[in-house]
Amino acid sequence: MMRPLLATLVLATATTATTAAAAPAPASGDLAIRSVVVRPSEPVVGPSGSVRLVVDVVARGADRVSVVLEPGRAPAEDDEPGEEPGPDVTPSPPSGDAVPVPSVSPDPAVPPGATVPATVPGTVPAAVPAAVPLPGLGGLASAVVPGVTGASRDGRPARRISSGEWETWRFLPDKALSRWYPSGPWTVVATAVTGRGERVVAHAGFNLRRETEIEGLKVAREGNGVRVTGTLMRVDPVGKVDYRPFAGQRVRIRFRPEGSSRWKTVGEAVTRRDGWFTARVRADGEGAWRAEYAGTSRYAADASPQREA
């Protein structure tokens, strides 16, 4: 059974919510989670390397916030009983090696427009208790700073959040995601609690996708049309090789007339068992051709380099 990923607090800073940015909230001062944001929002893993996530939880009234990441979709209130689509194959590391655990990377820069304000000198707690890693893929970790749930703009500890103030709790999962983790839907479960035992839970979701690649695209004149061929590959779901052919997938054939910047779909093809596809389309003047794969919840989209007939 896949264990949830461990998350470690990096920084908690106070920020003032504006009317435009804030969703309808409980009465002033009540425990609440306003948002859970995962970056990158659409992680893609290749045959090597990994992707490290950042999770920001914006909450108020909390003395402690914890985050758990686990494969699968979050339950919805209106869900009806039924079977979840079968998970993709989860490969095992070669030669029985453990899943690699890179060291924690520095706190990534906050992108423009993010709700997290610039760091204020002197507001970072001097010591943040480190979470204890669990075996395997890790487990729940709580972001706790004894007596300090954030930092005010004047550098003094914010032991109590006044009306309209929210704190951003930032987490870095202890392990980066790689091809050795299940592809498809993942859920982030954020829990905020108070010293009185009050609790609130919020969910966020993302899809972990494996890379695909359109190889060897060829475009050749054929009578009054054009023959487009190529091969669609995907990161091997079993983990024995880097890439394997991706069968039974629709590939769109796109054309951009000479002198235009707009691409249009002129045909499509379905890949064979060996990933190869072919399509004959009408040649509508001179221009550039390419093939595109739209992707799925488990595999990323890809577009080939452009070619001319």
Residues of the chain with CATH 2.60.40.730: 212-303
Strand partners, 218: 229
Both tokens assigned to 181? 């983790």
pLDDT for residue 283: 85
As a whole number of angstroms, the distance between CA 87 and CA 2 comes to 12
* Predicted confidence pLDDT, tens digits, the chain (309 residues): 555 554 544 433 333 232 223 344 454 468 999 999 999 999 999 999 999 999 999 999 999 999 999 999 877 655 544 333 344 555 544 433 333 323 233 333 333 343 333 222 223 232 222 332 222 233 333 343 322 223 222 322 223 333 457 889 999 888 899 999 999 999 999 999 999 999 999 999 999 999 999 999 999 999 889 999 999 999 999 899 999 999 999 999 999 999 999 999 999 999 999 999 999 999 888 999 999 999 999 999 999 999 997
As a whole number of angstroms, the distance between CA 303 and CA 262 comes to 15
pLDDT for residue 275: 98
| 58 φ, ψ (degrees, to nearest 5) | -100, 115
pLDDT for residue 155: 26
Indicate the Cα dihedral angle 184, 76, 175, 238, nearest 10°: -20
Cα atoms in the 13 Å half-sphere on the side-chain side of 161: 28
pLDDT for residue 224: 87
pLDDT for residue 34: 93
As a whole number of angstroms, the distance between CA 294 and CA 273 comes to 18
Residue type, 151: A
The CATH class of the 212-303 domain is mainly beta
Separation in Å, CA 29 to CA 19, 59, 160, 161, 166: 15, 11, 9, 7, 10
